[in-house]
Amino acid sequence: MGKNGRVATEPSTKRVAKSRARMSGRERREQLIGIGRSLFADKGFEGTTVEEIAQRAGVSKPVVYEHFGGKEGLYAVVVDREIERLLASITGALTSSLSSRQILEAAALALLDYIEDSTDGFRILVRDSPTGQATGSFASLISDIASQVEHILVAQFKSRRLDAKAAPMYAQMLVGMVALTGQWWLENSKVKKDEVAAHLVNLAWNGLTGLERNPIVSRH
């Protein structure tokens, strides 16, 4: 209570300033990453500005530049984290001691789990990466995952006396199919996750079992 009988209150700006002062450099960095992740998912890289990131964090633009060197640096950190999380999940499924079909099922579910649990992250990954950035694009992500799938297909091709040299190409096809279906499911989430995974594996597995040794394009 103040001398004049009124409750003494501290101006909101001072409270905010004190709150900012208590945030460590690491905490500030994580805050900016979270804000950037949300904005990139909602507006894309081009639609997001450093000014907006700073405004949401309640800091000046130089603070963003200090931590990340600019919007590109923040975007790269966000994308790298999402790719690491997704690859770890799928790689874990691919290295499990299951049958080949069960491994495909586990990998499909791992991707769908990621889409369900990290929707913002997936939206960022499927958007186009900044011009001139070689990594972090959806295509590079598919390529990384496909390289993990190759050994499954190589084993299957050899057991069926098919050309194992074609396995890397089929790995790209398989992962691309799963990833694009994941994009579709993102907008059609009423379809149950297990149902989506079951149909994906049904097409992939039964397609593999019926592969021709020397496929050709039939021209009419």
Average pLDDT taken over every residue of the chain: 82
Q: What is the pLDDT of residues 143-173, one digit of tens each?
A: 877 887 787 778 778 877 888 888 888 888 8
Question: What is the C-alpha to C-alpha distance for residues 36 and 51, in angstroms, rounded to an integer?
Answer: 11
Instruction: Kindly report the backbone phi and psi dihedral angles of residue 190, in degrees, each rounded to the nearest multiple of 5, phi listed first.
Output: -70, -25
CB 186 within 8 A of CB 120: no
> Quick check: 3 pLDDT over 60?
no
CA distances to 4, 9, 16, 19, 203 from 13, in Å: 23, 11, 5, 10, 59
Question: Quick one: pLDDT at residue 12?
Answer: 47
**Direct distance between the N- and C-terminal alpha carbons of the chain, in angstroms, rounded to an integer:** 92
Closest CA to 65 of 29, 37, 40: 29
> Quick check: 24 pLDDT over 70?
yes
Closest CA to 87 of 152, 128, 39, 147: 147
> From the CA atom positions of the chain, what is the Rg in Å?
24
Question: Quick one: pLDDT at residue 219?
Answer: 67
Question: Quick one: pLDDT at residue 135?
Answer: 53
Task: Enter the pTM of the model.
Answer: 0.74
pLDDT-derived band at 39, boundaries 50, 70, 90: very high
CA distances to 16, 46, 163 from 206, in Å: 60, 41, 18
Question: What is the C-alpha to C-alpha distance for residues 21 and 113, in angstroms, rounded to an integer?
Answer: 38
Average pLDDT over residues 180-198: 90
> Quick check: 14 pLDDT over 70?
no
CB 170 within 8 A of CB 153: yes
Q: What is the pLDDT of residues 88-133, one digit of tens each?
A: 888 777 766 778 788 888 888 988 999 999 999 988 888 766 655 5
Average pLDDT over residues 31-56: 95
CA distances to 51, 55, 56, 198 from 60, in Å: 8, 7, 10, 49
Can you list the domains of the chain with their CATH numbers?
79-210 (1.10.357.10)
Please count the residues of the chain.
Answer: 220
